[in-house]
């Protein structure tokens, strides 16, 4: 049986695990991402994490023969490079991930965007298992997604496929002015439907500044705060409308919703799904919409699948 290492390289932490070709995970570990130290320092630290797992596997007679990576940023999966990245990881743009890790580890590597890796994991072994087409959307710190068709994520000609938070939403407008988005544009889904957008909307509407983050807004809503309830309902409706539109375009067999908001319970989920179903064309009315099931393991499994498939 083959064994590889799958790596989930995010803006704050990097997780990795030794994965067998049957999808089982032998063991995992994680380190903080050196997100202020530049690409080479991140590659050094990631290689050290992978090396420790390879050595741990070797100690029990298991040979690791490749490394798959799901990385934050827009990733050229063909060349293994970072096309662009946000300020969350300084100096990441232009980094040669696969070449850099291969040089450091002596193992073949492959890389894809981390949301695509997450979707690959859910499509293979999670909530989308057994389906030939899976639309995964993620609502948390940002809004992202991936469309997996016959086991392959739709990356797009410029490798930008999956940026489902960055198209216009009629909800992302305040007093006639489109809300600024993290991408530098305005009026996008992420500007109204992400976790930080909920907190920002609550404060804009006159909510208490004592509520320091989105979790606090949800807690206040559960305690009966009408303003918090209204803000969450609006964000959920924006999310659902956006995903419903994507379903009309892509016609997936199943929709998997992940992220911190999806895990926040019925307060967000019910409004999101109601708005989603209100958008659907008649033949799509029964499309299943389910929560992701693999949690943080999904991206590790999806990253591993990049090299297990070859």
Q: What tens digit of pLDDT does each residue of 121-152 get? A: 999 999 999 999 999 999 998 999 999 999 99
- The predicted model gives 65-77 an average pLDDT of 96
Please state the CATH superfamily assignment of the domain spanning residues 3-121+296-308 in this structure: ATPase, nucleotide binding domain (3.30.420.40)
Helices 195-204 + 214-222 axis angle, to 10: 70
Q: Annotate 86-151 with DSSP letters as a single string.
A: -TTSTT-TT-BHHHHHHHHHSS-EEEEEHHHHHHHHHHHHSTTTT-SEEEEEEESSSEEEEEEETT
The pair of three-digit structure tokens given for residue 207, joined into one six-digit string? 């909510």
pLDDT at residue 310 is higher than 80 = no
pLDDT band at 86 (very low <50, low <70, confident <90, very high): confident
Every domain of the chain and the residues it spans: 3-121+296-308, 131-291
Length of the chain: 310
pLDDT band at 309 (very low <50, low <70, confident <90, very high): confident
In whole angstroms, what is the distance from residue 170 CA to residue 156 CA? 25
Q: Give residue 87's pLDDT.
A: 82
Helices 214-222 + 266-279 axis angle, to 10: 90
Sheet of 3-9: strand order equals 25-32, 13-20, 3-9, 64-71, 109-113
pLDDT band at 299 (very low <50, low <70, confident <90, very high): very high
- Residues 236 and 273: beta-carbon distance below 8 Å: no
Sheet of 133-139: strand order equals 152-153, 143-149, 133-139, 254-258, 289-291
- Domain 131-291: top CATH class: alpha beta
In whole angstroms, what is the distance from residue 118 CA to residue 174 CA? 33
With a threshold of 0.85, does the pTM exceed it? yes
Percent of the chain with pLDDT over 70: 100
Q: Give residue 296's pLDDT.
A: 86
The residue ranking higher by pLDDT, 183 or 40, is: 40
Dihedral over Cα of 60, 100, 149, 258: its sign:
positive
CATH fold match for the domains 3-121+296-308 and 131-291? yes
The CB density around residue 132, as the number of other CB atoms within 10 Å, is 13
Please identify which residue in the block is written with the tokens 């908001």.
261
Q: Give residue 306's pLDDT.
A: 95
In whole angstroms, what is the distance from residue 144 CA to residue 165 CA? 6
- The predicted model gives 209-215 an average pLDDT of 93
Output 199-207 pairs: Cβ under 8 A, ≥24 positions apart.
201/231, 201/234, 201/235, 202/227, 202/228, 202/231, 204/174, 205/230, 205/231, 207/231
In sequence order, the β-bridge partners of residue 139 are 143
Q: Considering only CA atoms, which of 234, 230, 231, 242 is closest in space to residue 279?
A: 242
* pLDDT tens digits, one per residue of 226-249: 999 999 999 999 999 999 999 999
pLDDT band at 25 (very low <50, low <70, confident <90, very high): very high
Q: Considering only CA atoms, which of 148, 193, 140, 147 is closest in space to residue 166?
A: 193
Which residues does 164 contact at the CB level (< 8 Å), separation at least 6? 137, 143, 144, 145, 189, 242, 243, 246
């Amino acid at each position: 049986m083959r064994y590889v290492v799958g790596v989930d390289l995010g803006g704050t932490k990097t997780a990795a695990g030794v994965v067998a070709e049957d999808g089982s995970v032998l063991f995992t570990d994680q380190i903080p991402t050196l997100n202020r130290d530049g690409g080479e320092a991140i590659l050094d630290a990631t290689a050290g994490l992978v090396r420790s797992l390879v050595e741990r596997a070797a100690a029990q007679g298991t040979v690791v023969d490749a490394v798959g990576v799901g990385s934050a940023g827009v990733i050229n999966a063909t060349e293994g490079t970072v096309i662009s990245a946000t300020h969350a990881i300084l100096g990441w743009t232009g980094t040669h991930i696969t070449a850099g890790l291969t040089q450091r580890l002596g193992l073949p590597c492959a890389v894809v965007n981390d949301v695509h890796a997450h979707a690959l994991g859910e499509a293979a072994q999670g909530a989308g298992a057994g389906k030939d087409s899976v639309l995964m959307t993620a609502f948390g710190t940002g809004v992202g997604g991936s469309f997996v068709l016959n086991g392959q994520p739709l990356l797009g000609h410029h490798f930008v496929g999956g940026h489902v938070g960055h198209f216009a939403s009629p909800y992302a407008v305040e007093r006639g002015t489109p809300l600024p988005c993290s991408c530098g544009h305005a009026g996008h889904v992420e500007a109204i439907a992400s976790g930080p957008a909920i907190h920002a909307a609550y404060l804009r509407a006159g909510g208490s500044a004592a509520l320091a983050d989105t979790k606090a807004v949800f807690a206040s809503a559960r305690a009966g705060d009408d303003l918090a309830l209204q803000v969450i309902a609006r964000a959920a409706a924006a999310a659902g409308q956006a995903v419903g539109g994507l379903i009309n375009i892509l016609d997936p067999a199943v929709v998997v919703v992940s992220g911190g908001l999806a895990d926040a319970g019925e307060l967000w989920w019910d409004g999101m799904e109601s708005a989603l179903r209100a958008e659907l064309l008649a033949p799509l009315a029964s499309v299943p919409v389910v929560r992701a099931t693999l949690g943080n393991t999904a991206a590790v499994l999806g990253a591993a699948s990049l090299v297990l498939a070859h």
